[in-house]
């Protein structure tokens, strides 16, 4: 098994040039990967710091509290609307029932008084 150095020595000049270009390109890619990883690491730190700031922000806490209050009020409103609809149905039923009762009573009076 030939050593790497021996294999490189056995290459013709054009192949040596191509090898060096590829090796240099590879080194550049390795450097670029490390730079990108470093940038990503910095961004992750900034994100964590930003999340901590937001988590500890009293305005955000107040906004969440107000939003929860709004949601509770909307649920209560919906519940009251349902109850109002049920009451309205009952009122309409009693109005119709009472109207029919009055009509029957008036018919009864007309029938017996004439």
What confidence score (pLDDT) does residue 62 get? 86
pLDDT of residue 1 exceeding 60 = no
**Angle (CA) 48 54 55, round 5°:** 85
pLDDT of residue 5 exceeding 60 = yes
CB 16 within 8 A of CB 8: yes
Domain boundaries of the chain, sorted by first residue: 10-56
Whole-prediction pTM: 0.45
The per-residue pLDDT of the chain, averaged, comes to 89
Q: What are the angstrom distances between the C-alpha of 108 and each of 84, 85, 96, 114?
A: 35, 34, 18, 10
Tens digits of residue pLDDT in 37-74: 999 999 999 999 988 887 888 887 888 889 999 999 99
What confidence score (pLDDT) does residue 40 get? 95
Full DSSP string of 39-82: HHHHHHHHHHHHHHHHHH-HHHHHHHHHHHHHHHHHHHHHHHHH
Nearest to 55 by CA among 45, 63, 43: 63
Average pLDDT, stretch 22-48? 94
What confidence score (pLDDT) does residue 2 get? 67
Average pLDDT, stretch 7-29? 87
């Amino acid at each position: 098994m030939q050593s790497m150095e021996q294999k490189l020595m056995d290459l013709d000049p054009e192949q040596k040039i191509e090898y060096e270009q590829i090796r240099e390109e590879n080194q550049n890619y390795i450097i670029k990967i490390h730079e990108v990883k470093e940038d990503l690491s910095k961004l992750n730190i900034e994100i964590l710091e930003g999340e901590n700031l937001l988590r500890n922000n009293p305005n955000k806490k107040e906004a969440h509290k107000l939003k929860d209050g709004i949601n509770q009020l909307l649920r209560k409103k919906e519940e009251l609307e349902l109850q109002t609809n049920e009451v309205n149905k009952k009122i309409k039923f009693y109005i119709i029932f009472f109207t029919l009762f009055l009509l029957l009573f008036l018919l009864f009076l007309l029938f017996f008084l004439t």
